C-alpha cells in the first residue's frame, strides 16, 4: 500500500514537471518576441531621452513640457472627446442592432473597418474642406454662406470627426460581440415588463457589459493617442498639434532623437495611464 502511494506521488511530480516545462515552452517564445520588439527598444529610447547636450538630465522633458505642453493637452483632448463620441455611437447603435437585428445596417457601419487611416484622412480633407461636400450640403438649407464657409478640417474638429468615423466600426465590432454574449433572457424579461429599447440598453446591456466595454475603450483611446495618418493629413491650424506630428517633425527636421524619444516616452505613459486606471478599477471590484 505504501509503495503504491509513493509511486502515485512520483507520477504526480513527473507530470507536474512535464506540465511546467510544457508551459515554459509555450510562453517563452511570445515573451522573447515582446522583449525583442518592444521592451528592449523602449529601454533604449527611455535611456536616450535623458541625453541632453551630452549630459544625462531631465532637460529634454523640461523642454517638451515647456514648448510642447499645449500639444500634449491637445492630444489628450481630441483622444478623450473622440473616445466619448465613438463609444456613445457604438453602444447605442450596437444595443439597437443586438435587440433589433439588421444585417444591412450592421454591414454599412462596419465598412470603415476595412479602410486605411491614410485613405480616411484624404477623404475627410475633401469632405470637411471649407468648400467641401459637408458645407455644400449644409448650404442647401441656407444655414451657411458658401462665400465665407466655416472650416472643419483644421484643428480639433477635423481630427475628432475623422477618428470618430473611422473607429466607430471597430468599436461597434467590439461592443456587439460583448452585448451578444449577454443572456438574452434578461432582455426578454425587460421587454415583457414594457421596457423600451433605450431602457434595455441603459439598464441591462450596459451594466452587464461594463468591464468588457472598459477594455474596448482602452484599446480605442490607445489607437487615438498613437494615430499619425489622420492627424497629419488634417492640416495645421497654426495652433496646437497632435503629439505624433511633433515627434515626426522632431525626427525629420530637427533630427533630435533624444528629444523625440522623450516625447515618445510621454505618449507611452499617456497610453499606460489608461490601462492602469482600468486595472485599478478592476482590482477594486474584485476586492
51 vs 237: which has the higher pLDDT: 51
Q: What is the mean pLDDT of residues 111-121?
A: 83
b/e burial code for range 16-48 (CB count within 10 A of at least 16 → b):
eeeeeeeeeeeeeeeeeeeeeeeeeeeeebeeb
State residue 89's pLDDT score. Answer: 92
Separation between Cα atoms, residue 152 and residue 237, nearest integer Å: 10
State residue 62's pLDDT score. Answer: 92
Q: What is the mean pLDDT of residues 209-224?
A: 83
Q: pLDDT digits over 14-70, tens only?
A: 666 676 667 677 777 777 887 887 888 888 888 988 988 878 888 899 999 999 989
Which residues, in sequence order, are bridge partners of residue 52?
55
Q: For domain 59-286, give the CATH superfamily.
A: MetI-like (1.10.3720.10)
State residue 13's pLDDT score. Answer: 65
Q: pLDDT digits over 22-34, tens only?
A: 767 777 777 788 7
Separation between Cα atoms, residue 158 and residue 146, nearest integer Å: 19
Q: What is the mean pLDDT of residues 94-122?
A: 84
Question: Average pLDDT of the chain?
Answer: 81
Separation between Cα atoms, residue 127 and residue 15, nearest integer Å: 63
pLDDT band at residue 86 under the 50/70/90 scheme: very high
Query: Sign of torsion, CA 158 159 163 166?
Result: positive
pLDDT band at residue 259 under the 50/70/90 scheme: very high
> Which parts of the chain are beta strand (E)?
51-52, 55-56
Res 153 pLDDT > 90: no
Amino acid at each position: 500500500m505504501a509503495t503504491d502511494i509513493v509511486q502515485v506521488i512520483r507520477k504526480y511530480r513527473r507530470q507536474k514537471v512535464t506540465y511546467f516545462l510544457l508551459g515554459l515552452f509555450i510562453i517563452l517564445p511570445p515573451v522573447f518576441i515582446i522583449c525583442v520588439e518592444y521592451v528592449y527598444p523602449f529601454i533604449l529610447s527611455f535611456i536616450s531621452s535623458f541625453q541632453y547636450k551630452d549630459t544625462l538630465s531631465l532637460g529634454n522633458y523640461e523642454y517638451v513640457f515647456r514648448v510642447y505642453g499645449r500639444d500634449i493637452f491637445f492630444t489628450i483632448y481630441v483622444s478623450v472627446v473622440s473616445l466619448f463620441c465613438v463609444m456613445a455611437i457604438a453602444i447605442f447603435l450596437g444595443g439597437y442592432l443586438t435587440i433589433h437585428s439588421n444585417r444591412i445596417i450592421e454591414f454599412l457601419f462596419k465598412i470603415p473597418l476595412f479602410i486605411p487611416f491614410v485613405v480616411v484622412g484624404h477623404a475627410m480633407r475633401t469632405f470637411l474642406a471649407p468648400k467641401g461636400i459637408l458645407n455644400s450640403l449644409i448650404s442647401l438649407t441656407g444655414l451657411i454662406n458658401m462665400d465665407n464657409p466655416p472650416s472643419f478640417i483644421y484643428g480639433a474638429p477635423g481630427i475628432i470627426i475623422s477618428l470618430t468615423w473611422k473607429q466607430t466600426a471597430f468599436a461597434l465590432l467590439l461592443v456587439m460581440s460583448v452585448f451578444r454574449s449577454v443572456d438574452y433572457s434578461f432582455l426578454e424579461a425587460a421587454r415583457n415588463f414594457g421596457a423600451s429599447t433605450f431602457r434595455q440598453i441603459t439598464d441591462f446591456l450596459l451594466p452587464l457589459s461594463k468591464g468588457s466595454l472598459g477594455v474596448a475603450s482602452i484599446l480605442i483611446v490607445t489607437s487615438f493617442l498613437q494615430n499619425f495618418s489622420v492627424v497629419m493629413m488634417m492640416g495645421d491650424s497654426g495652433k496646437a498639434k497632435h503629439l505624433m506630428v511633433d515627434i515626426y517633425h522632431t525626427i525629420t527636421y530637427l533630427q533630435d532623437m533624444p528629444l523625440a524619444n522623450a516625447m515618445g516616452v510621454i505618449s507611452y505613459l499617456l497610453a499606460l495611464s489608461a490601462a492602469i486606471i482600468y486595472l485599478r478599477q478592476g482590482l477594486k471590484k474584485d476586492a
